[in-house]
Structure 1
Amino acid sequence: MSGTTDQQPDVVTDDTAPEPHRDRRPATEAPRSLRPVEWLRWLWTNLTSMRTALTLLLALAVAAIPGALLPQRPTAPFEVSAWIEESPALGRFYDAIGLFDVYASPWFSAIYLLLFVSLVGCIVPRTRVYWRALRAQPPRTPRNLRRLPAAATTTSDAAPAEVLEAAAAALRRKRFRVQVREDSVAAERGHLREAGNLVFHLSLVVLLIGLAVGALGGYRGNVVVPVGQGFANTISQYDDITAGGRFDPTGLPPFSLVVNQFTAEFETGPVQMGAARVFDADLTVTESPGEQPYDFNLEVNRPLTIDGTDVHLTGHGYAPRVTVRDGNGDVAFSGLVPFLPQDGNFTSAGAIKAPDARPERLAFQGFFLPTAQVDELGPRSLFPDAFAPELFLNAWYGPPKEETGAPENVYSLDITGLEKVLTEDGTDTLRIRLAPGESVTLPDGRGSITMDGWERWVKLQVSSTPALPLTLGAVVAAVTGLCLSLFVRPRRIWVRARAGTSGETEIEVGGLDRADARTGLDEDVAQLAQQLGADENGPGDGAERRPGQGEDER
């Protein structure tokens, strides 16, 4: 075998390498010509580059951050209003640029669509190149295998044809694709790496489609249901609901349910006192009118699923049962009023409204304390369970209000047009403290309020995401493709066997990794050489680093 130190190795062809740019100008460089076709080609080339796709993916993740940090109008409209009231200037600016409804904002949608187009533009040409690479034969054997990154030489008493046959068999056992030529064997493996890349990018496209379908056709609603009462899955029954543009309210599954009992248990020991231990609700469910109802135990991580709609248990609280009589002695309001928990001990705030009271309408605002204590810190709850429940209220009165039909927050009180009820001497605000069964008469014959008892309520979230299986499948496929692209080793190995002058067969083995930061190539090449040869020169004998790659040996 001849060779000098200034000789260069053969070109190791890579069928997956992109074709060179026609005008030799970098793809990211804007065309000097002002022709629209050149500009469009330049824009498309940059939009469909992998760098652009990664940049858009990062931009989409960054754009979603405000949606996690700020309240969103579709899911928390009252929190958005409170945020704007607390910081009017900043709140109006955030609202103007869509930070309170991030996922429906034009700029978020633009990033979303550009990422979709970029991924599709990346996948189509790479799939075509990959298909050609799968059909192509392993590249020709370089003239000088010793100049490859990993090389070994040895000799064998077997004939060259027998050596090549043994090399082909050994490489096939290692899942190489093998082609036997006149005096050499060319083998390659690792095409699954590029397949993993394509699967990953295709999964991202499917994921975007699934998220879009779910956002357009899905819905999520919340409803508070006191124990002993029921809920029917109709649009008017929800306290709040968020739905996509393709949502059809007439297509809701016609199920109904009744909350028979809710069980809440809290830690009473010295360690983690007050921590939640058990939350579950016993339901009676009727999936459609006329069907036989059945019982279901709803737990926090065990939702009820009906026709693709999930019912989750997301919260609970207390609802005092009160009776309000007006100045005429008539019952102006009677029933359960849900109060919202404010802390871990379930200090709950709420409002009781009697707009039909006459001659003046009445309203009450305050707190329900499940385990009440009044000390120098004021009224407070010591434990989340209802061991000593009490109701603390302030009373308001005013002229009858004309019904306008405008929605109103049932958990807070709008005091516009109302005045505080004062004590008998008119010197202080009337403070009402009620235990179950107690009643307080308002001064000046304005009526009375009685706390008849209390009940628990549960908060249910009813949601449907039409493309959820598609989205989950895309996530699994993306993870699988990413693992393939990270762990599959694309590798090429060549074996040349020639009859030597001493009657023995001279064997050369060379290898090349087609991905950076790979290990084990030297060991694999040396092991194959040792397996094929008589091991007279030892594995790896004659191996040397190649200084360069890309030119034929002259």
Structure 2
Amino acid sequence: MSVKELEKEQAPEQASFGLVAWLRWAWRTLTSMRTALILLFLLALGSVPGSLVPQRGVEPDKVARLYEQSPALAEWYDRFQLFEVFTSTWFAAIYLLLFTSLIGCIIPRTTVYLRELRRKPPAAPKNLSRLPHHAVFESDLGVERAAARLRKQRFRVVTGDGWVSAEKGYLRETGNLFFHIALVGILLAIGAGSLYGYRGNVLVVEGDGFANTVAAYDRFIPGSRVSAESLEPFSFQLTDFNVAYQVTGDKRGQALDYSAHLKVNESPAAPARDYELKVNEPLEIDGTQTYLIGNGYAPVFRVTDGKGQVAFEGPVPCLIEDKASMTSGCVVKAPDAQPSQLGFLLRFLPTSVPLTDGTHASAFPGELNPEVQILGAFSGDLGLRSGKPQSVYELAEPEVMRKLKPVLMGTDAPKPLAVGQSVDLPGGLGKIEFTGVKQWITLQMAYDPGRFPALLAAATAVVAIALSLMMRRRRVFVRVAQGRVEVGGLTRTEGSAAGFAEEFADIVKVLSAGEKDVR
């Protein structure tokens, strides 16, 4: 046999890394503590866009405004599902991976924990002077008396021939385990809320009402287990809405308080009751919470067509263009006008003041001098019968309609209309009249059956992590021989030796109570 053949025969075979080995490695990596912490960090990091970017389920008007102001940016946001962060596929992936990782961490830790609970403290070492904490005193203290005194200090005690071994601090591992279980409980509660809960948004104008049915929502996001029959049959009417503003000082115009006055019927047969809805003080009916999340103005218009018929009359919710002054953009559509459909682009000014260049602007968000600017008047097909969805805040195709020049406009910067004023359209097509001002509010209804379980799980997690950080495993050993008592102690928690020194001194005092010559 040649040397090469001999080397080839003696060379060790390389272990193959097959599918099973890859799966085992992937599982160990996923269930490691480092991976769980990384996923927890990613979950928190992934929640940040949900606070910075307006969400469709909470602020649909801000999403629409972002599409108008920065369509390219809004397109990218939508592409990465940043308008719906908490229902996005990537957030769900992090959520499920974290859930799996925590389960994989808890199962082996529970086994180890139960094994530790059954395990007795080890026998006392022969040389206690080598331990980090050590004391000696003369006494006729026996093993049984020493064990009894340590039991009073809530130690688990084991005795032997001339020695006592004691240990406590198991709550540290208990807290650590319950912290991980509580995290799983939070994830399960969130999952239950997404399956059996629902959220919805609705815009309500003063004087109008709302009934908790699917058809009444402007936007409805049900869980996969929610049906139309799952909704609680309550209703209410918005009788009045008030906003208090700062009127003087550097913060002039800042909103101080919002208050919506409702007439609430908790069931079809229940009598109406008054309720004052405020920000962060939701109306709760059988677990369904109604939050006040936005407000704006809804000026009232009357559109008369060329035949003298009232083609449109009512409040028009306006989209806020400037939050500081509450300048808002409105669109009025009169599809029933004859002989031609009419559309108007308007701007509402809550406190209109003239500027030096002849234009008008709102100087205060409150309704002190409400006026409406007519930005454009159009006649022609509004496209409402085309089957294509349209926003109530815009005319779908104003470029294909005929632009009109109302009689009282006259200049590029027309004088706004005050309440009670009207403007005639050319060619006998009719007129539009500004008849009053109402306000609208946006509400979010949310039913989440996992809300209280999540709260309990979160409270458990806080208590558990506090126990895990504050408690420490420590052992105390006592040896008794010929009137001499030797005590040694150590902690099983890294970095807690300094804190144990005082406790060890107290333990020695308890053991030597009534004795003498402690060294």
State TM-score, norm by structure 1.
0.83
1:183 equivalent in structure 2: 162
Give the number of the structure with larger relative contact order, counting CA–CA contacts within 8 Å between residues 6 or more apart: 1
SS at match of 1:431: coil
Counterpart-to-counterpart distance in 1, 2:391 and 2:318: 12
**Identity fraction in percent:** 43
RMSD: 2.6
Counterpart-to-counterpart distance in 1, 2:292 and 2:56: 22
Counterpart-to-counterpart distance in 2, 1:35 and 1:270: 74
SS at match of 2:251: coil
1:196 equivalent in structure 2: 175
2:486 equivalent in structure 1: 508
Number of equivalences: 500
Query: Which deviates more from structure 2 when the two are superposed, residues 51-60 or residues 273-282?
Result: 273-282
Counterpart-to-counterpart distance in 1, 2:438 and 2:68: 33
Counterpart-to-counterpart distance in 2, 1:113 and 1:275: 43
| Counterpart amino acid of residue 367 in structure 1 | R
2:301 equivalent in structure 1: 322
2:461 aligned with 1:498, yes or no? no
1:408 to 375, 390, 401: 390
Counterpart-to-counterpart distance in 2, 1:288 and 1:411: 33
| Counterpart amino acid of residue 464 in structure 1 | Y
Change (3 A) 1:272 1:100: closer
Counterpart-to-counterpart distance in 2, 1:105 and 1:456: 34
2:436 aligned with 1:457, yes or no? no
Pairwise CA distance, 1:78: 6.3
2:350 to 343, 358, 370: 370
1:4 equivalent in structure 2: none
2:339 aligned with 1:356, yes or no? no
1:379 to 353, 360, 365: 360
1:298 to 248, 266, 277: 277
Aligned partners of 1:422 and 1:428 also within 8 Å: no
Counterpart-to-counterpart distance in 2, 1:87 and 1:474: 41
SS at match of 1:520: helix
2:3 equivalent in structure 1: none
Pairwise CA distance, 1:55: 1.6
| Counterpart amino acid of residue 51 in structure 2 | A
Counterpart-to-counterpart distance in 2, 1:497 and 1:301: 66
1:339 equivalent in structure 2: 318
Pairwise CA distance, 1:252: 1.3
1:442 to 417, 421, 425: 425
Aligned partners of 2:57 and 2:199 also within 8 Å: no
Pairwise CA distance, 1:317: 2.2
State TM-score, norm by structure 2.
0.88
Pairwise CA distance, 1:94: 4.9
Pairwise CA distance, 1:189: 0.9
Pairwise CA distance, 1:384: 2.3
1:34 equivalent in structure 2: 17
Aligned partners of 2:193 and 2:449 also within 8 Å: yes
Pairwise CA distance, 1:200: 0.7
Counterpart-to-counterpart distance in 2, 1:75 and 1:226: 18
1:239 to 215, 218, 224: 218
Aligned partners of 2:352 and 2:360 also within 8 Å: yes
Aligned partners of 1:151 and 1:526 also within 8 Å: no
Deviations 1:423-479 (A, max 9, x none): 669985583511111111123322211111112222222111121111111111111
Change (3 A) 1:462 1:528: closer
Pairwise CA distance, 1:309: 0.7
Deviations 1:175-230 (A, max 9, x none): 22222222111111111111111111011111111111212332222222122221
Aligned partners of 1:152 and 1:525 also within 8 Å: no
Aligned partners of 1:394 and 1:420 also within 8 Å: no
2:231 to 244, 247, 252: 252
Counterpart-to-counterpart distance in 1, 2:487 and 2:440: 76
Counterpart-to-counterpart distance in 2, 1:430 and 1:126: 74
Counterpart-to-counterpart distance in 1, 2:516 and 2:84: 74
Aligned partners of 2:408 and 2:423 also within 8 Å: no
2:198 equivalent in structure 1: 219
Change (3 A) 1:119 1:55: same
Runs (5+) with no aligned partner, structure 1: 1-30, 500-504, 542-554
Pairwise CA distance, 1:329: 2.2
